[in-house]
Structure formats: C-alpha cells, structure tokens
Amino acid sequence: MLRTIIFDFDGIIVDSEPIIMKLTQEMAAQEGWSLSEEEYYRDYLALDDRGIVEHLFTAHGRAVDHARVQELVNWKSRVYAKIIEDGLPTLPGAVDFVRQAARTFPLAIASGSARSEIEHLLNKLELRDRFRIVATADDCERSKPDPEVYLKALAGLQALPEFKEKPLLAAECVAIEDAPGGIEAAHAAGIKCIGLAHSRATENLNQADWVFSGFEGVDLKAIAREFEH
C-alpha cells in the first residue's frame, strides 16, 4: 500500500527553475562560458549547487577547482537568498495538493537545494508544518541522480512513530519529480515516481511510473490503488 509521498522541491512546489537557470548562466559567464537554456534543462536540472558548478567545469574541459567551486556556490547562495526573500510563486495546484495529501500521508521533501532556502520558502507558503521530513543538499555528499537524498528522506520517515509497529518500505513510497535525474534517483532508492512536466516535456519523463502535465491530473486515490496489487 502507499504510505508516504516524497516531493522534490524546485520545479515541483516552487517555480524556481527559471531563476536557478539564470544564476547558473551567470556563474558560467563569470568563467567565460556560455550555457543555453536547452543545456541547462537537459544536463543540470536535477543537480545541487555544487554539482551544477562541478559539471560546468567538466563540461568546459576544465579540471574541477574546488576552491573556485565553493566561491561560485557561495555567490549563488547570496544572490538567490535576496531573490527569494519575499518568497516565490508556486506551481499551479501545488499548495492545495500538498495540503490535501498531508491529511492522509506523512510527507517528506528530498531536494538538492539548501535547507535554509527550502525552509524559508515553505514558511512563506505556510506549508512547513505539512512536511514531517526535509532532506536537503546539506544532508548529502552526492547530488541526484545519486539516490542519497531519497535514502535520507526515507530513513527520516522510517523513524516516525507511526511506522514503529510496521516499518515503512521504500516500495510503499511515491516520489514526485520534474527531472529525469530526479526520477533516476528515486528509482535507485527503490521508490516509484510520478513525473510532472513542469520543467521538461512529458516525453523526457517517460521513465517515471506515472507522468502528468501538472498536479491537476494526479489522481492519488487511483495511484494508491495500484500499490495494493
């Protein structure tokens, strides 16, 4: 049976991907590189900040300079914090979906963003209390498509009191993602995945177990019934 839902954050709950893309382009420009929108959404979408900058180095034939990587990550964090100070728009239907799902399931987040960014934006949306577990880039050594952040979220959920009597299994969770790398990460953790075509076209998400154009198409009751087979 379906017992929990684990959400990605950027491009799923908040409409942050265009901003992050612009900041990624600006980081690339600081090193004399260019980055197209197509390249960003194809190659960088699921990565955390450090993974983005390291990929910029390798994609442009440069050895990874860890000191410079940290400088660029810190720059992005400072600029992004100012941009999101007053919050960000949400994806259509996201807030209602989270509120309704939280009435039935313990919810978690598994994201490559920094904890401070996620907590700030969730508080702005008055959604922080809907998520029992928040796993972030701060908790992980490796970025998606590595499953580490999903495994951290799963471990946090498994420690909740409601799963003490009957331990939660990965196969009893569903993830919600907008990027192929995120879907890959969820699957590598043993978790089925809903793909929402917020950042990529539906044909780019076909490795997901279910694909929808947005939250308005997601029928959680029907999906939950599939977990009973």
What pLDDT was estimated at residue 156?
Answer: 98
Q: How big is the CA angle at 156 (ends 137 and 17), to the nearest 5 degrees?
A: 35
Which residues are registered as beta bridge partners of 194? 176, 210
In the structure encoding, which two tokens stand for residue 34, read together?
């260019």
Q: How far apart are the first and last CA of the chain?
A: 8
Pick among 2.120.10.80, 3.40.50.1000, 3.30.1150.10, 3.40.220.10: CATH of 4-15+89-226: 3.40.50.1000
Residue 24 structure tokens: 């990624």
Q: Give the residues of the chain that fall short of pLDDT 50.
A: none
Distance CA 21, CA 17 (A): 6
Instruction: Determine the pLDDT at residue 77.
Output: 97
Residue 109 has a pLDDT of 98
> What does the pLDDT read at residue 6?
98
> What pLDDT was estimated at residue 221?
93
Q: Given this model, what pLDDT does residue 5 score?
A: 98
Q: Where are the alpha helices (DSSP H) in 60-129?
A: 66-83, 94-102, 115-124
If we measure between CA atoms, which residue out of 48, 50, 56, 38 comes closest to residue 10? 48
